[in-house]
Structure 1
Amino acid sequence: MTSLSVILSCIAAFLVTGSIGILMSRSHLATPTVYGLNLLVSLVVFVASLSHLPVSFADAPTLVLPIGLPWLGAHFRLDALSAFFLLVVNLGTMLASLYGLGYGRHEQAPHRVLPFFPAFIAGMNLVLLADDAFTFLISWEFMSLASWALVMSHHRDADNRRAGYIYIVMASFGTLALLLAFGLLAGPDGAYGFAAIRSAEHSPLTAGLVLTLLLLGAGSKAGLVPLHVWLPLAHPAAPTHVSALMSGVMTKIAVYGFIRVTFDLLGTPMWWFGLVVLLLGGGTAVLGILHAMMERDLKRQLAYSTIENIGVIFVSLGLALAFKANGMGLAAALALTAALFHVLNHSLFKSLLFFGAGAVLTATGERDMEKLGGLIHRMPVTSFTFLVGCVAISALPPLNGFASEWLAFQAILQSPDLPQWALKIAVPAVGGLLALSAALAAACFIKAFGITFLGRPRTPAASGVSEVDRFSLFAMGVPAGLCLLAGVLPGIVIDGAAPVVLSLVGDRMPVQTDIPWLSIVPVAESRSSYNGLLVFVFIAFSASATTYIVHRYASRALRRSPAWDCGFPESSPLTQYTAGSFAQPIRRVFGTRAMRVRERVDMPAPGDLRPATFSVEQHDLIWEGLYVPIAGAVGFVAEKLNHLQFLSIRRYLSLVFLALVSLLLVLALWS
């Protein structure tokens, strides 16, 4: 039995597990049964994908099932690209299922989650195996609908209903764009199989239209600006382990779709493809992290941070397209490796951070950072693992986020060899945006950890809490350890992704595991190298030596005293730094233009007993400038067209005739 057959059987097992969730929805055994089965099946898919990762592109197994379109069937294929993303998806689903064993016991309506959770996983896996446009789109829509049902699991909340509505509208728009893109690729002959699309010649006009539609379709699912508006609404609305899957895993399905079409099906790209993707990625990274910096809701902040990381991935993909178009194979391999490495890294640390946010929500019932604080003493394991995730996502060594972003910057340094002046100018500018987003990310997650876990409890909700269950703690510990492992030994990940990179750009980075001392050398040792293990050893030695010196030569006495209160005796926790005050300097520098921020202070005159007030007004310029007018225009047109439902039979037949003639004209001109 081939790996492809095993994985397809596992997808069927996911669907059966969803049926079991329906049958057992009212039983107290439903939660451990469904999540336990998901964990086991995901493990089987992970092992099967791992064993298939080194298989060459030409030897990829295929399978055709007699379902789908009658003349086409359903084509499935397992190549190195699919295998890599299957590893990412099923590692994330294993962690989410493990977390769900504990977190799921606190779910108020498990019967609304358990049937759709395995269906969601099945849909993501099917997208990665699809080898024809019809199967791809059906799987994509199945994934979107299952995730929408999970977002709507708490539908009695008005905000959740609004989030679900916006999500399903954006998902439908994205699917429509992908449908049109594959229609252009298939051409008038209707060759929907990926093998036929791959071997066909595509004109520059067709390729440009496909790229535009692909950025709309896959970009809306990934969270590219300005198509990101659903993401900070839907991710916080879903249960936490579903949020981790949507943010850490589902967005990578969109990245897979983009890579599959642009690097595989379209053939050799044009140089301006890279320029467009590069600029979109840079803008997405900066705008996403600026919005995250302004948030006080922990899950919304993590959702906006996902937008920033998607921007980092698309910057690397844009570089890879530009290098590939100009025949710079090694530079293209470096940029694509950076993108794939960050795909894996973001899946790990974003899942970890959402799990930590879920643990805080379970223990305190709060997501608002302004109402938390002091949790490091009451939830030490959650605090430590969340700190690991914050360091990783801030791209600080020796964790994995630094390794992948360092590779992206090394790819940017290859840009002077590009022949086009537009790229010579744009790449360094986007590199500056990437550096800015990395700095803002560090500030953002210093705020997230400091306000949530340090200081004193700001409200009774943060006092008297205790650590969460062991399943949740273990589910947080595993990705924390993997973040360290991938950061200390990045060469293993780079070499593991090499078959994917080789199949897509025709070149690969040098074998990293052959380099002494476990260093990584992207291009040549004379230009740059990095050794995560030495950095880790240096940090561990320095910290241990400092701790020893302090405890050996300083006083061993334990002394407690009140924190410095700036000369005021008031000991209220409300006098502490807040999330809003932490973000204020950045809000004043960037927010006035990026979000039209306005601060208003009402200071009563002397003798006036009214309290002073401070308020902040900020706007989502993309939502107000793009989506609100579109919604208004759609409503206006719908109202004007409403009279069509009152026409006579003769007029209806005339409309049908005109529509038929128009379609025949389009077909005649196209062919």
Structure 2
Amino acid sequence: MAPTVAILCWCIAALLGTATLAVAANRSRAATPLIYGATLAVCVTAFLLALRYLLSEPVAAAVLTLPLGLPWIGAHLRLDALAAFFLIIVNLGSAMASIYGLGYGRHEKTPHRVLPFFPAFIAGMNLVVLADDAFTFLLSWEFMSITSWALVMAHHRDEGNRRAGYIYLVMASFGTLALLLAFGLLAGQSGNYEFSMIRTAHHTPLIVGLVLVLLLLGAGSKAGLVPLHVWLPLAHPAAPSHVSALMSGVMTKVAVYGFIRVVFDLLGEPMWWSSIVVLVLAGGTMVLGILSALFETDLKRLLAYSTIENIGIIFVSLGLALAFQADGMGWAAALALTAALFHALNHSIFKSLLFFGAGAVLTATGERDLDKLGGLIHRMPVTSFAFLVGCVAISALPPLNGFASEWLIFQAILQSPVVPQWGLKIMLPAVGGLLAFSAALVAACFVRAFGTAFLGRPRTPAAERAREVDRYSLAAMLGLVALCVLTGILPGLVIDGVSPVTQALLGARMPAQTGIPWFSIVPIAQGRSSYNGLLVLLFIASSASLAAFVIHRLASRAVRRGLPWGCGLPGLTSAMQYTPGSFAQPLRRVFGTVTFRARERVEMPRPGDMRPARLTVEMRDLIWDGLYAPIVAIIGFAADHLNRLQFLTIRRYLSLVFLSLVTLLLVLTLWS
């Protein structure tokens, strides 16, 4: 399989070459189809290579060493089952974004700011997954961060985008620093940064705990774990829509890959208490992410907050896998890890679909504010259908793929009575309750998003003038619709495809699913639980068809006309329908007062006063106010005072240097 790694390296080189070609093409008309077409070809090649490798169920990993990187170790690349699975996610999402970009890119006002960095960003993500030493991993990670930052700043004239890019750059640098410290602890005094050497090293419980914390800070900040999520709802909407799909659907999975690679592969046997740390963070991430999405009116920011919630779901399953692995329950750990990987794949599919739909709405209307949309189902029927499928999938409703993976996570949670620790016996059902609670809120959130954007009447002339988008954008969305359906009704194929990953990391795997009749999946035993997406689809289709048949056959054919009751008004207008704010008001009053300090202020004019009544809602980000705002204030205070150092005289500079030398000598004397 070594030639496979070499071909993947050539694919990465081709992506970097495409980025260079984009710089040379600059503002040429042919640049957009040329760059996105070349990127599509390379991503499809890499996707097929990774899929072929994973389905062959490799026993040994394929490795390759390049004469780059640190002089004494070079650049090590490795393709194993885990890397192959995430290469599938990266290149599948990138290929779909490239197809979408063929049409969406024609509307881009500054394509020269997007085209060079788009293939480079994809190359960086591929290189992170293939890296097999700490230096190559961190270099690729930083390259991925910088190229994605450049894409966020593509529309840099918008002040909000500049702020989003600045916060993203700061958080990315913080995450890289945390990962650097984590790999330094893993390398130890020997300084061996090769992953093969780190795997064989013995780590004390203190080192394991410190690495876990640093990894949650580093990979968790890139993934969007609370409270490190503040950059994500700012940066993802600021980028072009197909880049937003890549960042939200794919880049966050590269962060999940980094966590899995270190915790389940390099760190050794986990401690049971480490799962509690992960579960607590994941549970808070789920609930806060979906509550933030529920109260958001910007369509792309809503989808970004929803990504935070789904990252929480993935980390819940990873925390379960850690707990079961620590207790020697290989079969349960394999179930939880399979569910996490399955949901990572599913999220990359339906979140890319939803961002593509949001991009189509933005292209057709120039708006992404839900208060300025409405009635788009009549003007953009294909986009409306695709977005509806994405909403159903992300709401975890059968028979689509979101339900299959979340059902597996619930099956893993139901194993909580088997664990011996009382802390986990209490924690796991609580996390299961939070997962069920967040699932209900997700359904409400996307009923609100689809209903206010696509149903009802247009609220603005821009929504009334909307037309369907180009065929490339529609093709990308319909392709993802097909994947949502296929992975939902045939989940056993995905589960068996993931089995080599769990076998390599945990030494266990779920039972083979492809041999079970009618494409059912049985995670543990036939008598305990099973699910069949195909039968559910057939039941839904047959019952809906039967109901339609009965209604049309038995109902009266007479035409009856009547005026609708309009509350005494002669005609209905768009102002008489639900708005995003009114839909979310009951939940905001219940949960928003605690989590966001939501306050409503009503200005009601006195009788006879012709001024309109006003309802103002104020919400605060408590994490930003309580954690990041004080840090910003301290840094600003220190910078203002340290700024005086550049105005000292020569005598004071020499005195400062002298005092610094004396202080260092005293420290060395006391240390020795």
Q: TM-score, normalised to structure 1's length?
A: 0.97
Aligned partner of 1:655: which letter? S
* Alignment correspondent of 2:239: 238
- Kindly tell me: are residues 661 and 361 of structure 1, through their superposed partners in 2, closer, same or farther at Cα, counting changes over 3 Å? farther
Cα deviation for residue 54 of structure 1 reads: 4.2
CA–CA distance in structure 2, aligned partners of residues 499 and 664 of structure 1: 56
* Alignment correspondent of 1:549: 550
Q: Answer yes or no: is 1:71 the counterpart of 2:76.
A: no
Cα deviation for residue 565 of structure 1 reads: 2.8
CA–CA distance in structure 2, aligned partners of residues 337 and 101 of structure 1: 34
* Alignment correspondent of 1:519: 520
What are the within-5 Å matches in structure 2 for residues 329-408 of structure 1?
Answer: 329-408=330-409
Aligned partner of 1:416: which letter? P
* Alignment correspondent of 1:655: 660
* Alignment correspondent of 1:94: 95
Aligned partner of 1:508: which letter? R
CA–CA distance in structure 2, aligned partners of residues 115 and 465 of structure 1: 31
Aligned partner of 1:251: which letter? T
CA–CA distance in structure 1, aligned partners of residues 105 and 262 of structure 2: 37
- Kindly tell me: are residues 643 and 87 of structure 1, through their superposed partners in 2, closer, same or farther at Cα, counting changes over 3 Å? same
Cα deviation for residue 516 of structure 1 reads: 1.5
CA–CA distance in structure 2, aligned partners of residues 560 and 11 of structure 1: 65
CA–CA distance in structure 1, aligned partners of residues 669 and 548 of structure 2: 79
Whether the aligned pair in 2 keeps the contact of 1:57 and 1:503 (CA below 8 Å) is no
What secondary structure does 1:82 align onto? helix
- Kindly tell me: are residues 129 and 556 of structure 1, through their superposed partners in 2, closer, same or farther at Cα, counting changes over 3 Å? farther
* Alignment correspondent of 1:53: 54
Aligned partner of 2:30: which letter? L
CA–CA distance in structure 1, aligned partners of residues 521 and 23 of structure 2: 49
CA–CA distance in structure 2, aligned partners of residues 576 and 553 of structure 1: 33
What secondary structure does 2:620 align onto? coil
* Alignment correspondent of 1:28: 29
Whether the aligned pair in 1 keeps the contact of 2:365 and 2:465 (CA below 8 Å) is no
CA–CA distance in structure 1, aligned partners of residues 562 and 113 of structure 2: 50
CA–CA distance in structure 1, aligned partners of residues 63 and 485 of structure 2: 36
* Alignment correspondent of 1:574: 575
Cα deviation for residue 648 of structure 1 reads: 1.9
Cα deviation for residue 575 of structure 1 reads: 1.5
* Alignment correspondent of 2:166: 165
What are the within-5 Å matches in structure 2 for residues 86-125 of structure 1?
Answer: 86-125=87-126
Whether the aligned pair in 2 keeps the contact of 1:54 and 1:80 (CA below 8 Å) is no
Cα deviation for residue 189 of structure 1 reads: 1.6
CA–CA distance in structure 2, aligned partners of residues 69 and 14 of structure 1: 23
Cα deviation for residue 658 of structure 1 reads: 5.5
Cα deviation for residue 557 of structure 1 reads: 7.0
CA–CA distance in structure 2, aligned partners of residues 412 and 125 of structure 1: 32
Aligned partner of 1:569: which letter? P
Whether the aligned pair in 2 keeps the contact of 1:55 and 1:79 (CA below 8 Å) is no
Cα deviation for residue 526 of structure 1 reads: 1.0
Q: RMSD value over aligned CA atoms?
A: 1.8
Aligned partner of 1:526: which letter? G
Whether the aligned pair in 2 keeps the contact of 1:67 and 1:74 (CA below 8 Å) is yes
Judge which range, 57-66 or 490-499, deviates more: 57-66
| Identity %, equivalent residues | 69
* Alignment correspondent of 1:638: 639
Whether the aligned pair in 2 keeps the contact of 1:56 and 1:79 (CA below 8 Å) is no
Whether the aligned pair in 1 keeps the contact of 2:299 and 2:368 (CA below 8 Å) is yes
- Kindly tell me: are residues 525 and 664 of structure 1, through their superposed partners in 2, closer, same or farther at Cα, counting changes over 3 Å? farther
CA–CA distance in structure 2, aligned partners of residues 17 and 657 of structure 1: 55
What are the within-5 Å matches in structure 2 for residues 161-310 of structure 1?
Answer: 161-310=162-311
Whether the aligned pair in 1 keeps the contact of 2:400 and 2:489 (CA below 8 Å) is yes
Whether the aligned pair in 2 keeps the contact of 1:124 and 1:143 (CA below 8 Å) is yes
Whether the aligned pair in 1 keeps the contact of 2:457 and 2:574 (CA below 8 Å) is yes
Cα deviation for residue 633 of structure 1 reads: 0.9
What secondary structure does 2:391 align onto? helix
Superposed CA deviations along residues 272-329 of structure 1, whole A, max 9, x for unmatched, are 1111101111110010000000011100000000000000000000000000001000
Q: Answer yes or no: is 1:9 the counterpart of 2:19.
A: no
Aligned partner of 2:595: which letter? A
CA–CA distance in structure 2, aligned partners of residues 607 and 171 of structure 1: 56
Q: TM-score, normalised to structure 2's length?
A: 0.97
Whether the aligned pair in 1 keeps the contact of 2:225 and 2:311 (CA below 8 Å) is yes
* Alignment correspondent of 1:474: 475
Gap runs ≥5 in structure 2: none
Judge which range, 501-510 or 120-129, deviates more: 501-510
What secondary structure does 2:64 align onto? strand
Aligned partner of 2:623: which letter? I
Gap runs ≥5 in structure 1: none
What secondary structure does 1:187 align onto? helix
Cα deviation for residue 638 of structure 1 reads: 2.2
CA–CA distance in structure 1, aligned partners of residues 27 and 668 of structure 2: 51
CA–CA distance in structure 1, aligned partners of residues 377 and 667 of structure 2: 67
